[in-house]
Structure 1
């Protein structure tokens, strides 16, 4: 419990810095934000109304605490384009990105665990060379190229799956799954390459440790030693990389969403930037950043589950 409380307390200053950074987004726009949003041809009256709408006519501290109070109530402001609440726009787009991120991570985790363990278990065999070669190729291939190849092969040439589009799972589960297969595989295969290399390296390092040689000396079989002892200790850096991957996916799937025309959170940010809808950008970036902080907190807690010594040492 002390370990959990300490980690939460450490997250508070990070959240404060995040809130200041997101609040400053509009105020840091070069020149007059109202002019940037409305354009130089706008009248002074329209610009003044925009400043009042954004609260820019108030002292900076008043602006911050007004904005922070709204955020704590779930009010992220309104879109400058049509007046739609930003929280509504995020709620509509976030499930798409969340589904894509979780599906991608599930594919990445499944492939990387299997490939990483087999590669280390059968070191310097054809299995190891094949796994390492595929991982190296996966790291070298960009998401968008792999996505377009999948569209050309499986959607255009074979006609097995749709090339783009999205249907909510509750409205049409079959259409939802078929539409998400290609983007999930395209991103998941690419992301699994990094985790595979991480797990292989970590597991090989553990297999050379003294306690592993002791286990072999006691007569334990290789499979038992690798699965029950080495793999668990090798998971700590693997969990770190996996947590960073999940955090990166939540804010970095914009390319995949663009290629497959998925109405996710990343596309919302890009569209809002192009339309100069800075309140929507501000709210979306804040939500993405908060999720990243929460993911990092969960990763810290997983450390204690994998290796209880971490929480004991932290409590000293």
Structure 2
């Protein structure tokens, strides 16, 4: 419990630094929200009036502390262009992104674990080379190209899945699942290569350790040795890689969301940057940072579950 609370408290300075960096960088982007809203033909009086209403005529340090004071009260502000609370925009767009992230992660695990284990066990064989080549190929192919090829083949040629669009699971579960197959598959194949390579490398390190040879000497069959001993001790680097992957997907699926016309969280940030909607960008990135910190916290807790020696080592260090 103390470990959890300590890690949670560490999120405060991290989020504070993220807020400063985000606020500073977004104001360095050329362009003016007031000018974007009114257009180039607006009068100087109307332009100055709107800047005053939006608080953009105040010094940047005043704008920051005003915004931060509202954030500490749970108010991320009002979108400049949409005139909707930023928190509402975030939760509207977060659902599709979380669904796409979960689907991508499931696809990646279903491919990476069998391929990684077989590649390590059958090291130096055709199966190992094939798995490695496929993993490297999946990591090398541009995501947008692979997505478009999947649309052409599975949607246009075969007609199995919708080519684009998004329907909420609560509105139409069957249509939702059909629409998410291609996005999850195209993104999951790329991420599977990352996890598969990490799993293979870690398994090859663990498989030659003394406790594995002892288990084999006791007559334990190869399957039980790999799944019961080797795999468990090889999971820490895989969990780390998976945590980094999930954190990256939560804010980095903008290409997949754009190709398949999914109204996700990544597209919200990009669209807000183009609109110079400072308030939405600041709130969305701060929220993303919070999600990343929480994912890393969950990864740290998983370490202690998978390998109790980590927790024991922390207690001994105290």
TM over 0.5: yes
Aligned CA distance change for structure 1 residues 36 and 261 (closer, same or farther; 3 Å): closer
Match of 1:117 in 2: 117
- Residue 77 of structure 1 contacts residue 85 of structure 1 at CA under 8 Å; is this kept in 2? yes
- Residue 27 of structure 1 contacts residue 33 of structure 1 at CA under 8 Å; is this kept in 2? no
Match of 2:185 in 1: 185
Q: Distance in 2 between matches of 1:7 and 1:156?
A: 49
Deviation at 1:314, TM superposition (A): 2.6
Are 2:96 and 1:91 aligned?
no
Match of 1:277 in 2: 277
Match of 2:135 in 1: 135
Aligned CA distance change for structure 1 residues 31 and 125 (closer, same or farther; 3 Å): closer
Calculate the TM-score normalised by the size of structure 2.
0.91
Deviation at 1:36, TM superposition (A): 7.3
Deviation at 1:76, TM superposition (A): 1.6
Matched residues, number: 316
Q: Distance in 1 between matches of 2:268 and 2:132?
A: 37
Match of 1:166 in 2: 166
- Residue 26 of structure 1 contacts residue 33 of structure 1 at CA under 8 Å; is this kept in 2? no
Deviations 1:119-162 (A, max 9, x none): 11222233222211211111111111111111000100111111
Match of 1:100 in 2: 100
Deviation at 1:53, TM superposition (A): 3.3
Q: Distance in 2 between matches of 1:32 and 1:180?
A: 37
Gaps in structure 1 of 5+ consecutive residues: none
Deviation at 1:89, TM superposition (A): 1.5
Deviation at 1:10, TM superposition (A): 2.5
Calculate the TM-score normalised by the size of structure 1.
0.92
Match of 1:289 in 2: 289
Gaps in structure 2 of 5+ consecutive residues: none
- Residue 15 of structure 2 contacts residue 286 of structure 2 at CA under 8 Å; is this kept in 1? no
Q: Distance in 1 between matches of 2:313 and 2:34?
A: 53
Aligned CA distance change for structure 1 residues 34 and 165 (closer, same or farther; 3 Å): closer
Deviation at 1:218, TM superposition (A): 2.6
Greater shift, 140-149 or 217-226, is seen at: 217-226
Greater shift, 164-173 or 109-118, is seen at: 109-118
